[in-house]
Amino acid sequence: LYSEKVLDHFSNPRNVGELSDANGVGEVGNAVCGDIMKMYLKIENGMIQDVKFKTFGCGAAIATSSMATELIKGKSLEDALKLSNQAVITALDGLPPAKIHCSVLAEQAVRAALADYYRRQ
């Protein structure tokens, strides 16, 4: 059902937690299942210096957020804004169709956190 990479990122999620010095914070909810995702960004010189996430969502939400944080860490804001849930799913070697809706949480939370950062400038 789930790829090795999904199981790895679910059992061993990267970048879980909060960032006390975040300067961009996004929180989004999922209309399908009611889950919430919170994303913290520490941005300096136009780069994502650090990123952490918190969720009470399912294994697919955890795995996609874990992968998404890895994909944007150390990247420019432009690259982070281009992150798509399809790119995250591909990096995880796929997700079952019923769980695609979970992957949008990560993409939307990153965008919400970036929007929050721009708003604060």
- If we measure between CA atoms, which residue out of 37, 45, 46, 39 comes closest to residue 19? 39
- The reply to whether 10 sits near its own copies by the rule CB under 8 A is yes
Report how many residues bind ligand FES under the rule CB under 6 A: 9
The sheet with strand 24-29 has its strands ordered as: 24-29, 36-44, 47-55
Q: Which is nearer to ligand FES, 35 or 50 (CB)?
A: 35
- Detail the DSSP E strand segments found in 45-108: 47-55
Residue 33 binds ligand FES (CB under 6 A) = yes
Name which of 43, 44, 13 is nearest 106 in CA terms: 13
By beta-carbon proximity to ligand FES, the closer residue of 59 and 87 is 59
Active site residue 33: yes
Cα angle at 37 between 33 and 40, to 5 degrees? 175
- Write each residue from 21 to 50 as x if it is in contact with its own copies (CB under 8 A), else as -, in one continuous string: --------x--xxxxx--------------
Please identify every residue annotated as catalytic: 33, 102
Would you tell me which residues interact with ligand FES (CB under 6 A)?
A: 30, 33, 35, 57-58, 60-61, 102, 105
